[in-house]
Amino acid sequence: MDPHIAQSGNISGNHLSISKRGNKYLRSLLYMAVTCSLPGNKENLINTFYKKKKQQRNPLNSKAEKTACIAKMLKIIYDMCKIKTVYQYSLVCIIYLF
């Protein structure tokens, strides 16, 4: 998952789109998973990361912020598979927030 950037002049970052590389079904599933994890007050890493991206000095648009959350989610899943462990909020927060 990466934003598609067209190199043709002034780019503000407000019109970035998700690149079309990879499996479109997996992209849509990851996008729906991130979108479903955002509403509500339940504390999770993706929600915290999304709020942090929204409060940046130069915030991205909503779709670009969700794309960044998808990339973060993929990194977490990859690391969980690599070290063969289950999701633990406290461990993931130590690794990824600082």
pLDDT of residue 46: 83
pLDDT by 10-residue block (mean), the chain, 98 residues: 55 60 85 86 80 81 84 86 82 68
* pTM to 2 decimal places: 0.72
H helices present in 9-61, as ranges: 24-37, 45-54
Name the residue with tokens 């990466």: 2
pLDDT of residue 17: 62
pLDDT of residue 15: 54
- Find the domain containing 12 and state its range: 3-96
Q: Minimal CA–CA distance to 1: which of 17, 56, 98, 79? A: 17
Tell me the sheet residues that pair with 3. Answer: 18
* H or E segment and range at residue 18: strand 17-18
pLDDT of residue 27: 86
H helices present in 1-44, as ranges: 24-37
pLDDT of residue 18: 63
pLDDT of residue 58: 76
